[in-house]
Every structure is written in structure tokens, then in C-alpha cells.
Amino acid sequence: MKRPLLAATASLALFAGAVQAQTLVATSNIIVRALDRTIDFTSDTTTSIRDMKVVIEARDDAASFVASEGDIRGAQLEAAFGALRSQVPEAQNASDQVLAEAILAQ
């Protein structure tokens, strides 16, 4: 009797973990696509985000942030978060993890 219950509990835990991972991936994809749209739009009119010095300089900090699961937060990354949130409406409510991944995707 305990084995089926244990198996069901383990299956439910694995399913919940997979759903959370898919949610993070989906959110990351939304932000990256939003940044790409913004980059495409702004490249014609103003300096693109891809060319923003603060975002370029934050790539190493973003890599450390992602690798440490948010434990390492560099000053350049914090500056990039602020710049992205002020210039990209879709980034205003995004988590720091999603923005760090978007910076790395550029």
C-alpha cells in the first residue's frame, strides 16, 4: 500500500518541478522576445539595447548571477537591471533571473 502512495508522491513532485521549469523557460522566452522586439525597434530610432554599454558590461555579472542562482549580484548587473527596467516596458515586472538570462542571450 505504501509503494503506490510513494510512487504517486514522487511522480507529483517530478511533475511540479517540470511545470516550474517550463514556467521559468516560458517567462525567459517572453522577456528575450520582448527585448528582441525592442532592440529591432530601437535600432532604427535610437541606440539599441544591444549597444547599451551598461548591458554589455554586465554580461560577466549576469553569468555569475545565473550560475550562482542569484547569490552573486554585481554592481554592473544591478545597473543593467535598472537600465532595462527603465527603457523596456516588458522588463519592468520581470524577475532578476529572467533579466540576467536575457542579458546573456544578447
Q: Where are the domains of the chain?
A: 24-105
Distance from C-alpha of 82 to C-alpha of 39, rounded to nearest angstrom: 17
What pLDDT is recorded for position 57? 92
What pLDDT is recorded for position 41? 41
Q: Which three cell numbers stand for residue 82?
A: 535598472
Name residues whose C-beta falls within 8 Å of residue 85's C-beta, 6 or more positions apart in sequence.
91, 92, 94, 99
What pLDDT is recorded for position 102? 86
Q: CA distances (Å), 28 to each of 24, 50, 71, in order?
A: 6, 17, 19
What pLDDT is recorded for position 45? 33
What pLDDT is recorded for position 105? 83
Contact call for residues 91 and 85 (beta carbons, < 8 A): yes
pTM: 0.56
pLDDT in tens, the chain (106 residues): 556 655 555 555 555 455 454 566 666 666 776 666 554 444 443 446 666 889 889 999 999 999 999 999 999 999 999 998 888 888 888 899 989 988 888 7
Contact call for residues 77 and 100 (beta carbons, < 8 A): yes
Distance from C-alpha of 21 to C-alpha of 1, rounded to nearest angstrom: 31
Contact call for residues 38 and 102 (beta carbons, < 8 A): no
Distance from C-alpha of 72 to C-alpha of 65, rounded to nearest angstrom: 5
